[in-house]
Structure 1
Amino acid sequence: MAATVPRVKLGSQGLEVSAQGLGCMAMSAFYGPAKPQCDMIALIHHAVAVGVTLLDTSDVYGPHTNELLIGKALQEGEVREKVALATKFGVSFSGGQREIRGDPTYVRASCQGSLKRLGVDCIDLYFQHRVDKRVPIEITIGELKKLVEEGKIKYIGLSEASASTIRRAHAVHPISAVQLEWSLWSRDVEHDIIPTCRELGIGIVSYSPLGRGFFSSGPKLADSLSDQDVRKYMPRFQPENLEKNVQIFDRVKAMAVRKGCTPSQLALAWVHHQGSDVCPIPGTTKIENFNQNIGALLVKLTPTEMDELESYASGSAIQGERYLEMGNTWNDSETPPLSSWKVE
């Protein structure tokens, strides 16, 4: 398969990536047991050979094991210069408890840890995974700015941040990308966050663009989830909500048949048609699924077809929240004013 993936620009600082990236989380964590390392490295090498340049990971995936996997794939495949490496900090598990941290000491220590595990000298795109509501966003971004100046990271990103948090952060140092959940069944970001990013010239990285696999497998996905898969406990996959959400999948599937593509390709194509400042990062652990996802780039949608797709999942059509607990998402990411910060 030839390298045919087009490029998009994220932000105004020079970051250019493939129009579709590869989310690597499920290879190591949260969606069931970790997958065989040799298979995942083969998948990563295949993705890069096809033309995918954005690999997305985080220090919390495992924790740490996904970064180690990516680092080994980069080393074995000699592909470091071909990819933009994105990782994240901010979610810490200590003593079985989750803590969100954005204080300077933690930011710097996290960066050093990721650099070591990935086996690189510089992280291309470094996201704050979740916003620490105890620390003014200016303080967190200020430390990231120092890391840019030191050459440890190239570009700064935010994940699950509100519009006002994005504005405050961008005023300290240009934000190149905001990572958020955006798909046919997660569209609330369109009201405020997407317009803010576009006003400020910030790129958009869409995670879970296939509705966490829902638009790939439909209702049968819920029947196959293991107890180690977090989706099993997510509201949208609970029977009372899934019964209604499946109606959306059925309509997408029917339209996909008319278009001569799969439901997942149609749902992913919808994200691609949102603009040239958007890079979805569908995750997978199988090369055949990856190839299918890349095929979405060939699916063309007319404005009428876009409207039809959006009508399937408009308003209150989607049942259930995105997460079991909606805390630590953009709905809940405001930080104290900078004036409240006291240096100890």
Structure 2
Amino acid sequence: MNRRKLLKTAGLAIAGGALVPLSSFALSSNSEIKPFHNDNLLQPVPGKRKLGTSLEVSSIGLGVQNMSRTYQTTVPFRPEMLNIIRTAFDKGVTLFDAAEAYGPFEVEKILGEGVAPFRNKIVIETKFGWNIEQETGKRLPGLNSRPEHIKLVVEGMLKRLRTDRIDLLYQHRVDPNVPIEDVVGAIQDLIKEGKVLHYGLSEPGSQTVRRAHKIYPIAAIQNEYSMLWRGPEKEIIPLCQELGIGFVPWSPLGVGFLTGAIDAGTRFAQGDIRANESRFSAENLPHNLALVDLLKNWGAQKQATPAQISLAWLLAQKPWIVPIPGTTQMAHMIENIGAENVKFTASELMEFNKQLDAIPILGERLPSFVQAFSDVEAPFKK
């Protein structure tokens, strides 16, 4: 039974391995934002991790990208999104991920409102780099990491996030027209002003990472990484190990695939990016579902869901990997952070990886026009 069917059929959700009624999660249908008072669920997430040398965060973070618009193109109920953010904090989550491009702007506004009561107790990470008109939010072609633009973007971010500093600021994609030395120089200015505390790169070329890190230490790199897409294992993760950089996997649940919510008959709505990813095509999807079968088999052994096995596997790779699963459902958020309690022994991990390696994934992870923005090297400064 897949994740959604299990929860709907039983009227239950998973919290730290225990089944709990969905009614406990304050999933209100009105506009009132209700405080979360179920003391049985307010157990902190055990364990912290470090990004870079000093940025301490919870082992699992929360991605809020879809809280303004889901993959299915629906608009979530905003008060419920605020409840999810606040309950995540109550459960021990201290890393929250956004970007100016999400919305654009709307997700940062939702996050800023959601974390306002406890802003000083959490880490906010957000991202700049797409060419977005700051007055209107209109998307313009390509990227824009010109230093003067970065500083203008950060001023808008601070207002939307209702804060005086950004704990971790990423370049969302490397700009092929701006030397990374200029980008890091602008970030250093913002760090001196106290508006940014740490910085990182998302989907960068490896040589750009080395050049940036020489100027000012990178706290984290954010790339897609999961059992469905293991590309970072070739170069970026070893580079993080070498340089002491943290790693934050986006889409750690394979845009929903690794939760078991997708089957061979699944087709995607117009506007859903997964409809343009060949790994989810009608030809490739049935083959790739062998990976979900693997997760279900191990989930039965570990008394965990496929999503929890997926996240636990990521946590087992390196002690400085911090996944940021996103969701717009309270039960799924509770389930995701419960993955921290799922552990692999060394022999179990070896056997799991052996079985995982035997399952080749067919199809590409992103449409070619999106993939073109990844693994880009910045130009050298003249």
Task: Report the TM-score range of the alignment, normalised by the length of the smaller protein.
Answer: over 0.9
* 1:128 is the counterpart of 2:171: yes
Cα shift at 1:224: 6.2
The residue number in structure 2 matching 1:226 is 269
The residue number in structure 2 matching 1:162 is 205
Residue segments in structure 2 that go unaligned for 5+ positions in a row? 1-40
2:146 and 2:74 map into 1 onto residues whose CA distance is 32
1:238 and 1:310 map into 2 onto residues whose CA distance is 25
From 342, 346, 356, the equivalent of 1:299 is 342
String of CA shifts for 1:221-244, please: whole Å, max 9, x gaps: 972643232222222111111121
The residue number in structure 2 matching 1:63 is 104
Determine if contact 2:173/2:203 at 8 Å carries over to the other structure.
yes
The residue number in structure 1 matching 2:228 is 185
- SS of the equivalent of 2:290 reads helix
Alignment of 1:144-163 (within 5 A): 144-163=187-206
String of CA shifts for 1:200-254, please: whole Å, max 9, x gaps: 1111111111111111125339726432322222221111111210112112212
Alignment of 1:1-344 (within 5 A): 1=41, 2-12=43-53, 14-29=54-69, 31=71, 32-75=73-116, 78-93=117-132, 97-220=140-263, 223=266, 225-314=268-357, 317-325=360-368, 326-330=371-375, 333-339=376-382
Cα shift at 1:65: 0.4
Determine if contact 1:253/1:262 at 8 Å carries over to the other structure.
yes
2:208 and 2:327 map into 1 onto residues whose CA distance is 31
2:165 and 2:284 map into 1 onto residues whose CA distance is 43
Cα shift at 1:295: 1.4
Determine if contact 2:264/2:285 at 8 Å carries over to the other structure.
no
- SS of the equivalent of 2:57 reads strand
Compared CA separation, residues 114 and 7, structure 1 to 2 (3 A):
same
Cα shift at 1:115: 0.7
Cα shift at 1:133: 0.9
Give the TM-score normalised by the residue count of structure 2: 0.84
Compared CA separation, residues 169 and 316, structure 1 to 2 (3 A):
farther
Compared CA separation, residues 136 and 271, structure 1 to 2 (3 A):
same
Determine if contact 1:101/1:131 at 8 Å carries over to the other structure.
no
- SS of the equivalent of 1:61 reads coil
- SS of the equivalent of 1:63 reads coil
The residue number in structure 2 matching 1:342 is none
Aligned amino acid, residue 240 of structure 1: E
1:304 and 1:44 map into 2 onto residues whose CA distance is 36
Query: Which segment is superposed worse, 214-223 or 226-235?
Result: 214-223
Moved >6 Å (runs of 4+): none
- SS of the equivalent of 1:79 reads helix
How many pairs does the alignment contain? Answer: 334
Determine if contact 1:5/1:20 at 8 Å carries over to the other structure.
no
Residue segments in structure 1 that go unaligned for 5+ positions in a row? 340-344
Cα shift at 1:110: 1.0
- SS of the equivalent of 2:167 reads strand
String of CA shifts for 1:109-159, please: whole Å, max 9, x gaps: 111111111111100100101110111111111111111011110001111
- SS of the equivalent of 1:155 reads strand
String of CA shifts for 1:165-223, please: whole Å, max 9, x gaps: 11001011111011111111211211211111111111111111111111112533972
- SS of the equivalent of 2:168 reads strand
1:234 and 1:189 map into 2 onto residues whose CA distance is 18
CA RMSD of aligned residues (A): 1.7
Determine if contact 2:130/2:144 at 8 Å carries over to the other structure.
yes
Compared CA separation, residues 138 and 47, structure 1 to 2 (3 A):
same
Give the TM-score normalised by the residue count of structure 1: 0.92
String of CA shifts for 1:90-127, please: whole Å, max 9, x gaps: 01246654411211111111111111111111001001
- SS of the equivalent of 1:335 reads coil
- SS of the equivalent of 2:357 reads coil
Determine if contact 1:10/1:203 at 8 Å carries over to the other structure.
yes
Compared CA separation, residues 222 and 7, structure 1 to 2 (3 A):
farther
Compared CA separation, residues 72 and 111, structure 1 to 2 (3 A):
same
Compared CA separation, residues 143 and 122, structure 1 to 2 (3 A):
same
Compared CA separation, residues 218 and 314, structure 1 to 2 (3 A):
farther
Compared CA separation, residues 305 and 218, structure 1 to 2 (3 A):
farther
